[in-house]
Amino acid sequence: MEINLDKIVTTSFILSFIATIIGALFKIMHWPGASMLLIIGLLSLAVFVITALYEVYNSKTINSSEKLMWTIGFLCLGSIAGLVYVLIRRKRVIRNQ
């Protein structure tokens, strides 16, 4: 059984982004279920960060300083760095492997 990292990275990022945005909206409006949506968003963001870092560190085209940059970006600015990674950089990483 082969694990498809491409689907895991993309799905976990999209799920975390949507759940966090909707959870924040629910929290602002004081609607029930906000805490659960925010927890789902944070857990799926953790899955995304782990799988994206695995993908970055196993890439042969990324040098060590760029790997450090992605690590700091994912840990400090998870959603913003994730958006940049999924939309721009990831295509180059996968294409060059």
3 state SS of 37: helix
pLDDT tens digits, 43-93: 999 999 999 899 888 888 888 898 999 999 998 988 888 888 888 876 665
pLDDT tens digits, 23-44: 999 999 999 999 999 999 999 9
Residue carrying the six token digits 């491409």: 6
Confidence at residue 93, expressed as pLDDT on a 0 to 100 scale: 58
Residue carrying the six token digits 């560190």: 57
C-alpha distance from residue 60 to each of 10, 30, 56, 65, 97 (Å): 21, 47, 9, 13, 7
The domain segmentation of the chain, as residue ranges, is 5-91
What pTM did the predictor assign?
0.81
